[in-house]
Structure 1
């Protein structure tokens, strides 16, 4: 078997084991929540007989390990169960909301990844200059504030005062691509400002670290232009750490959008999870957390594979 294929299978096995541990942690965390789920759903006016019947229907009268195995078995079969709030299949709810979250993440990634890599290359090329210092100050300032603060500042100026973009990003089900891009620009810009700094600084650090290598000095001595040295000689060897940090930030764009979606009332998976917590719709909360964990694990696996593809030496331990 090819070493790369063996590594992928090994990482997939570790990912499944990690996902199993996460599912156990999610279930235990839900079990430790105060209050009775049946009483919270039915309300205080429910009779003890109604509560007992509801608990039997949900299987809450069974031991915790039995309920966990039933829930895990349903997930393996692709059945996430029924929503307690509207009695709809959870898979239908997740499919629509996950698509919206992925759209927002891709929208932000298309802007942030080229911007961060370009700024990192220019900052490394002109390190120590006013441009380098200005970019570092701006990016560090953008990640020093929490996401909701950045979101409200953008909403204040770009929506309330200047009226350029809408403050609510709910575009409905019949909007076209242009309308979706327009209504989701503010949440996408919030995510861009948050994640660009990490990718830019990693790109800058990786390039600067390689500029001290002997083959780079040889390129300088041959009279190569600074742009050619950066793009032709330094960047290909710096792709592995850049890919890793880009993948981690892409994972954040998908799994860390909960606050941004709530601020802009964006109909994504994070908003669904928050609404389900408020309604005590525990099956939807569990399924949403598991989807977020699965995406994070898959993106990390993809980052490892791409990093090794660009630098096969990473496959072998020193």
Structure 2
């Protein structure tokens, strides 16, 4: 019952967060320069024609009425009509989310095993030469911005060596493996950054767990080393790392504007950037709202995973 109450409270907070974010996004779009009529008809259009377009799209109504209509339609999956493309917004947002999810999935498939494996290995050999090399490599990889790493890898692996294509979009009709192959190069800059970050998190958790009282108690009981590591050390050591991975999914799905632009991937970040440039308010609102929802859901999933792995947190009300 405590866990069920914790889930209900976390879901209520998630709904409240998304509602506040939706209000902030809509109000932010209202204060941006320009309006629908001018965007569609151009800066030299007649004022009456602009007013007619604004009335047609309902942008001359009170802000609260517009917000309620937009929110009620968005809850039904209808984000309006794109001003630039003259088509419903939802299919473009869904396709962009699918593309970003594919890139994030390939990155996570590489990051999670490599990062956790390197961190656990380093933590088990804390203070050794291997430990120092892993720490040095992880810090060096994490401090370089992703767009710098992407440009270097693009020049070396795609242009000079020809191992990968210069785009992250597979041709139409390509299979699953071809799609993954085209996404490996765009995912590598993320792998270098997040592998080092996750490895350091996992190492810190391992060092702390190995020196904890419960570990010493398990060893004194005569349990085998493998049993102590699997049943006592790893579960507690990797809890913060798993939570961090869950919270970073939002960034991987919506915060990779430069990576997506560089490799011509029509993801969420690229969609929001293009909508902002074109003053496409419905597309901009929908894209930012989906990105915010992904961030909020990722944080909620991280909290739930942390509560599942450590029941003491939900019982004490720490989460």
- Tell me whether the two structures share a fold, i.e. TM-score over 0.5: yes
Match of 2:180 in 1: 181
Match of 1:92 in 2: 91
Match of 2:145 in 1: 146
Question: Is contact 2:254–2:267 with CA below 8 Å preserved after alignment?
Answer: no
Displacement of 1:225 in angstroms is 7.4
Match of 2:209 in 1: 210
Aligned to 2:316, the other structure's residue is in SS state coil
Match of 1:42 in 2: 41
TM-score by length of 1: 0.92
Cα distance change of structure 1 residues 218 and 17 upon mapping to structure 2, 3 Å threshold: closer
Q: Alpha-carbon deviations, 1:160-200, whole Å to 9, x = none?
A: 22121112112244221122111111111122122222221
Question: Is contact 2:248–2:298 with CA below 8 Å preserved after alignment?
Answer: no
Displacement of 1:47 in angstroms is 2.2
Displacement of 1:153 in angstroms is 1.4
For the residues of structure 1 that align with 2:311 and 2:205, how far apart are their CA atoms? Answer: 17
Q: Alpha-carbon deviations, 1:222-270, whole Å to 9, x = none?
A: 7877666533431022242222112122232223222211121112222
Match of 1:161 in 2: 160
Q: Alpha-carbon deviations, 1:34-88, whole Å to 9, x = none?
A: 2344223322332223212211122221222221121112112221111111221
Q: Alpha-carbon deviations, 1:99-147, whole Å to 9, x = none?
A: 1111111111111011111011011011122222222222222221222
Match of 1:105 in 2: 104
Question: Is contact 2:34–2:279 with CA below 8 Å preserved after alignment?
Answer: no
1:113-262, aligned counterparts within 5 Å? 113-218=112-217, 229-262=228-261
Gaps of 5+ in 1: none
For the residues of structure 2 that align with 1:255 and 1:194, how far apart are their CA atoms? Answer: 17
Match of 2:56 in 1: 57
Aligned to 1:249, the other structure's residue is in SS state helix
Match of 2:295 in 1: 296
Question: Is contact 1:195–1:249 with CA below 8 Å preserved after alignment?
Answer: no
TM-score by length of 2: 0.92
For the residues of structure 2 that align with 1:156 and 1:220, how far apart are their CA atoms? Answer: 51
Question: What count of residue pairs does the alignment treat as equivalent?
Answer: 317
Question: Is contact 1:111–1:192 with CA below 8 Å preserved after alignment?
Answer: yes
Match of 2:310 in 1: 311
Cα distance change of structure 1 residues 133 and 225 upon mapping to structure 2, 3 Å threshold: farther
Question: Is contact 1:125–1:226 with CA below 8 Å preserved after alignment?
Answer: no
For the residues of structure 2 that align with 1:244 and 1:268, how far apart are their CA atoms? Answer: 24
For the residues of structure 1 that align with 2:280 and 2:260, how far apart are their CA atoms? Answer: 19
Mean Cα deviation higher: 225-234 or 22-31: 225-234
For the residues of structure 2 that align with 1:156 and 1:137, how far apart are their CA atoms? Answer: 25
Question: Is contact 1:239–1:307 with CA below 8 Å preserved after alignment?
Answer: no
What is the Cα-based RMSD across aligned positions, in Å? 2.0
For the residues of structure 2 that align with 1:33 and 1:294, how far apart are their CA atoms? Answer: 22
Gaps of 5+ in 2: none
